[in-house]
Every structure is written in structure tokens, then in C-alpha cells.
Amino acid sequence: MNNQPVLRVITKLLVPCMLVMGGYVITHGEIGPGGGFQGGVILAAGFILYGIVFGKEELHRVVPRRVTDGLATAGVLLYAGTGVWCMLRGGRFLDYGVLPGVDTGAAEALGMTLVEYGVGLTVCTVMITIYDMISEGVEA
């Protein structure tokens, strides 16, 4: 796509907006439409668009495979760790009311936000990995 300057410029303008929107959807998922899954897909779509337009090698320069693998693991650990933290504080798995906070509402908002970030991070990085594997023609 080196001979498509308009597409490259539009992509450079669009990708940051997609990343901001994905982060917004993840962050505000507990109080409105959206959440970790939807926001993670929006984030991944931004990176995948970048990879389609600028090439797989450029995408690997921006987000190396070891980074996506590590962030996918970190997302799962954040989700599961939030549940285990609730259990260690005397509640059930993902019983946000026992988390530290000024009141139960603040504790539940903290727990839901952590879970949304974990899901969003995992979904985003797994979608990038799936795109990467499909573009290489690797069979799972």
C-alpha cells in the first residue's frame, strides 16, 4: 500500500481516534454501554487497520509479538487477580463490595473497572494475535 498516500494519511488520522474511543469504551463500561470486550475490539481494530495499511512488519515494530503475548497474560491475571483479591478479603470471587473504598459503591466501581481493563487488554491483544496468525497463514 505504499502507493496509496491518501489511505495512509487517513489511517494515521483515524487510528489515534480509534485508540482513544476504545479506551473510553473500556473505562466507562461499568456505567454505560460498552465495556472491556467492545473496547478491546475497537482497540484491536485500530492496530489491525494500521497493520493492513502499513504492513505486518510495521505493526510488529509498533507492537511486537512478545508484547501482545505478555499483555494478554497480564489482562487475564488482572481479571482473575481481582476475583482472588475479593476472596482474600472475605467475599466471593468478583464480589466487589469487599474491596477497599470509601463506600460499597466506590469499591464496586473499582472492581468493575479493574475487570473491564483486564477483559479489554486480553481481547485487544488476542485479536491482534489472531490477525497476525491469519496474515502469516499459520494454522493453530
Q: What is the pLDDT of residue 68?
A: 95
Q: What is the pLDDT of residue 37?
A: 94
pTM of the predicted model as reported, rounded to 2 decimal places: 0.88
Residues lower than pLDDT 50 in the chain: none
Q: What is the pLDDT of residue 136?
A: 81
Where are the alpha helices (H) located in the chain, listed in sequence order?
Answer: 5-27, 36-54, 56-62, 65-88, 104-136
> Among 133, 129, 138, 124, which residue's Cα sits nearest to residue 45?
124
Q: How many whole angstroms separate alpha carbon 122 and alpha carbon 84?
A: 18
Indicate the number of domains in the chain: 1
Q: What is the pLDDT of residue 103?
A: 80
Q: What is the pLDDT of residue 140?
A: 52
Burial of 61 (0-12, 13-18, 19+ CB in 10 A): exposed
Structural domain harbouring 32: 5-136
